[in-house]
Chains A and B, each alone.
Chain A
Amino acid sequence: GENVEQHPSTLSVQEGDSAVIKCTYSDSASNYFPWYKQELGKGPQLIIDIRSNVGEKKDQRIAVTLNKTAKHFSLHITETQPEDSAVYFCAASGPDKLIFGTGTRLQVFP
């Protein structure tokens, strides 16, 4: 069945450094790739998404890249801040649902 793999499971960076989270997906028909951020005690919230007709999308310090040939997509956070500390989930669209990755716990140390 459809599958989304996400790496790493945990990531620790110094404030100001960049962070990269990578996902691979199995369904070549997937065409929508959102990223969610889950802060402590809250539900996940969409931070950026990309559709298969573009290779890159940027929103301030956050960017997502998509390689459809390799079935890879990645989240890039530049100039990390302590408030970026959270769990991040990638997802890929299936025929009738989103398939989520297993999550990455990002810790940004001051």
Chain B
Amino acid sequence: DVKVTQSSRYLVKRTGEKVFLECVQDMDHENMFWYRQDPGLGLRLIYFSYDVKMKEKGDIPEGYSVSREKKERFSLILESASTNQTSMYLCATSPGLAGDEQFFGPGTRLTVL
């Protein structure tokens, strides 16, 4: 059974803080993804990684960066959090980039005050 865990379910941060969201998977998948979910906008891809130390920008990368030092761990970094980054953040993992099932973590609801 694939398990994707995210470091926090709820997080409250202040404007300007550096924020780290961690995602860990136990299925040895090559590909990992970070999405943000907002009402009426669906799931929007922020960044994805297809291998250790490899990353690609998604549709909305501005204000975010990522790190993948180990295959099982993919981190999303908000260098200087802003109120418009208040959202639900979802991590996913998949054996393929576009043609395979994606397995999602439970999400982190981030509030930036």
Contacts and interface: CB of A to CB of B under 8 A. Distances in A.
A88 to B, nearest CB: 11
Given A43-B104, A45-B104, A97 B98 contact: yes
Contacts of A9: 40
B28 interface: no
Contacts of A101: 42
Nearest to A51: B99
Contacts of B106: 41-43
Interface residues of B, number: 24
B42 A97 contact: no
A15 to B, nearest CB: 26
B27 interface: no
Interface of A is mostly: loop
Nearest to A42: B106
Interface of B: 4, 33, 35, 40-45, 48, 56, 58, 90, 92, 97-102, 104-107
29 contacts: A6-B42, A32-B98, A34-B102, A41-B106, A43-B104, A43-B105, A43-B106, A43-B107, A44-B43, A44-B104, A46-B101, A46-B102, A93-B98, A93-B99, A96-B56, A97-B33, A97-B45, A97-B48, A97-B58, A97-B97, A97-B98, A98-B102, A100-B35, A100-B42, A100-B44, A102-B40, A103-B40, A103-B42, A103-B43
